[in-house]
Amino acid sequence: MFPDTFIALNPDKDYKPTSADSVQLYVTQLPSKPYHEIGILYISTKTNRYDAGVVNQNLAILKKVAAKHGADAIIRLDVTDFNIKGVAVSWE
C-alpha cells in the first residue's frame, strides 16, 4: 500500500476529527444537506478492485483518513483498478 493522501482545500481552517464509522459514502448522488468541501482524498494500492474484500478494506482506510481530517462524508467516490479517490466534506 502506498501512503494515503489528503489535500486540504482550505489549509487555514482546522476541522475537528470525526469517527470513521460515521463517515458516509456518496458515489452517484450528492448529499441533500449543505456541506463544505474540505479536501481531496486519494489512496493507491497494489491490490485490485475486483476483490470485494480488498475494496472494503481500502474504503475503511479512506474513511479513517477522512475522519482524521474532520470529514462527515466522502462524495464523488471513484474506485478504479488500483486507486480510490473522493472529496471529503463537512456538514454545515
What CATH number did the domain enclosing 13 receive? 3.30.1660
| Residue the block writes with cell 482550505 | 10
Q: What is the pLDDT of residue 58?
A: 85
pLDDT score for 1: 43
Say how many domains are in the chain. 1
Instruction: Calculate the CA dihedral of residues 20, 21, 27, 29 and round it to 10 degrees.
Output: -110
pLDDT tens column, 27-83: 999 999 999 999 999 988 766 667 777 788 888 999 999 999 999 999 999 988 778
- How confident is the model at residue 45, as a pLDDT? 75
- H and E: helices and strands count for the chain: 1, 5
Domain hosting residue 51, numbered range = 5-91
Nearest-angstrom CA–CA distance, 18 and 23: 8
Euclidean distance between CA atoms 26 and 46, whole angstroms: 24
Among residues 41, 59, 43, which one has the least CA distance to residue 51? 59
